[in-house]
Amino acid sequence: MTQHSSRSKPLQTLIGVGIVVLAGLLAWGASSVSSEAGYGGVGPNFLPWVVSAVLLICGILCVVHALTGGFRDLEEGSGDERAHWKGFVWVSAGLLLNALLITTLGFILSCALCFVLSVRGFKSSEGELDLRLNAWIKDSAIGIAVAAPVYWMFTQLLAINLPGLTNTGWL
């Protein structure tokens, strides 16, 4: 029986440290905001300082909790004790390639690619990764069948700007 990853002391400490670092970044940013307050007496840098101070306290408390018996009242995240990284890489690739290619490939093809790669990821985490050509073709077809009507509805009916592969508005 391995320990649930959300109970891991190093990970919890890391999160606490992350919050402290975030507080530090916010404070650094706050120092460059002017304190010019006009009539009010409270300038635009007031809330940034409050937020960074509270986050600093919270972050330190999280670290203390992590080191002394772990986060309090923690409800373990559902599912497996360990992450399935292979599936995560597939889905991440789908999302990031989509961001990279959407303006060049257009909405339909780029989203279909994201769809296909995400399906690979979920299948992989279910232990049924299917890399045969047939499955790629089938999922690409489904991906296009999902993205294309959405694209047409939003660009043709609602006149919302989405990038296309051509300028016709139909692809």
* CB 133 to another protein: min, Å: 18
E strands, the chain, are: none
Q: Which residue in the set 69, 159, 166, 168 belongs to the binding site for another protein (CB under 8 A)?
A: 159
Cβ atoms of 23 and 59 closer than 8 Å: yes
For the chain, the straight-line distance linking the first and the last C-alpha, in angstroms and rounded, comes to 52
Answer for which of 3, 31, 67, 74 binds another protein (CB under 8 A) is 74
Q: Which of residues 79-98 bind another protein (CB under 8 A)?
A: 79-80, 83-85, 87-88, 90-92, 94-96, 98
Min CB(99)–another protein separation in Å: 4
Contacts (Cβ under 8 Å, ≥6 apart) of 71: 12, 62, 65
Q: How far is the CB of 168 from another protein (least distance, A)?
A: 18
- Using CB under 8 A as the binding rule, whether residue 140 contacts another protein is answered as no
Instruction: Using alpha carbons, select from 81, 91, 67, 99 the residue that is nearest to residue 6.
Output: 81
Q: Reduced to 3 states, what is the DSSP secondary structure of residue 166? A: coil
Count of residues that interact with another protein, criterion CB under 8 A:
84
3-state SS, one letter per residue, for 96-125: HHHHHHHHHHCHHHHHHHHHHHHHHHHHHH
Q: 96 vs 137, which CB is nearer to another protein?
A: 96
Contacting another protein (CB under 8 A), which of 20, 105, 106, 107?
107
Whole-Å CA distances, 62 to 65, 103, 120: 5, 42, 37
What is the smallest separation between the CB atom of 142 and another protein, expressed in angstroms?
7
| Residues of span 8-47 touching another protein by CB under 8 A | 11-12, 15, 19, 22, 26, 29, 33-34, 36-44, 46-47
The smaller minimum CB distance to another protein, of residues 39 and 166, is found at 39
